[in-house]
Amino acid sequence: MRILAIEAAPLHLLRYMDTGPTGGLQPRTLPIHAGIVDALPAGLEALLIASDLQGREEPARRRQGTPARQPAGEESRLLGERLADELSALAAAGCIPALDHTAAVLAGDLYARQAGQGRGGAGDVLPVYCVLAERLRWVAGVAGNHDRFGEHAALPPAGSIAPNVHLLNRGVIRVEPALTIAGLSGIIGDPGRPWRREEEAYVLELWDVLAATPEMVVLHEGPDVPAAAMPGNPVIRAALAERAPARPLLVVCGHSHSPTVLAELPGAVQVLNVDHRAVLLRPAG
């Protein structure tokens, strides 16, 4: 599966709320870009790829045009949950394929604190996976450094969320007859903190999943691509250069926001950075 093009202008903009520097809410938009791939597996008409959905749903009054602030103590859903509703509306309007023929790949960091709680922190992202799994063909993803699953950092056992949810950490799964996805959760950092590995351990585990020759590898922290001004980790770029499969490989990542969405590394390796954005891939023709 090779990406042929990504439209510069978003297909759709989803409004949401983010915590500002002073702790209050500020409006932001999540761009959803349309992309074209050479092919998708039979029966799969679209593949949504997203990462770093670190925001909360707009209060209902604001969506209806009233500029009132969210009352203290009012809970709002995670941006990923709101995204599921938006996808349903877009599919019902005929703007995107039916959701039972659409799947999603998530590259981590799907949590944001409630208003007034400040930026950062970590929390439960299971609600995002659950609501997307109810509507889509399947959902695959890795953990970001802000993600927890229930009260725990560790990934829940396979199949415990839903049969069509695949959470990957040093794992490889064939989600379609012609699509194998590998995933490595977390980032390079202090192993005493959740979802962080020492550099050497991270590289060895990345090489392990690359040995399965997947069509796609999902990372939270991705490689840098200096020639395309794409930020990332040069250690991961070097690891890919040494052990990437001989056939084309799509690397999906987030963590570091990039003005460049798609870039290429030597050896037919494409890097798709979806930090604070989503890309909906459809087959050519």
CATH number, domain of 80, equals: 3.60.21.10
Residue 214 C-beta-side C-alpha neighbours within 13 Å:
24
CA angle (48 as vertex; 128, 273 as ends), nearest 5: 95
Model confidence band, residue 70 (pLDDT cutoffs 50, 70, 90)? very low
What was the pLDDT predicted at 246? 81
Mean residue pLDDT across the chain: 91
What was the pLDDT predicted at 67? 46
At 175, the amino acid letter reads V
Rounded to whole angstroms, how far apart are CA atoms 253 and 167? 15
Range of the domain at 248: 3-68+76-283
How far from chain centre, in Å, is Cα 127?
Answer: 15
Tens-place pLDDT, residues 89-100: 999 999 999 999
* CA nearest neighbour of 59 among 74, 38, 48, 45: 74
Q: How many residues does the chain have?
A: 285
What was the pLDDT predicted at 118? 63
DSSP state of 101: G
Give the C-alpha distances (Å, rounded to integers) separating 144 from 13, 66, 82, 192, 253. 24, 34, 19, 15, 10
* CA nearest neighbour of 146 among 207, 189, 83, 210: 189
Whether residue 226 is predicted with pLDDT greater than 70 in this model: the reply is: yes
For residues 145 and 18, the model is more confident at 145
pLDDT, average across residues 227-235: 97
End-to-end CA gap in the chain: 15
DSSP state of 226: G
* CA nearest neighbour of 14 among 74, 67, 56, 68: 56
What was the pLDDT predicted at 61? 47
Tens-place pLDDT, residues 241-278: 998 888 899 999 999 999 999 999 998 999 999 999 99
Model confidence band, residue 281 (pLDDT cutoffs 50, 70, 90)? very high
Tokens representing residue 206 in the block: 């990345």
How many distinct structural domains can be found in the chain?
1
At 195, the amino acid letter reads W
Rounded to whole angstroms, how far apart are CA atoms 112 and 85? 18
Rounded to whole angstroms, how far apart are CA atoms 19 and 56? 9
pLDDT, average across residues 169-173: 95
Whether residue 142 is predicted with pLDDT greater than 60 in this model: the reply is: yes
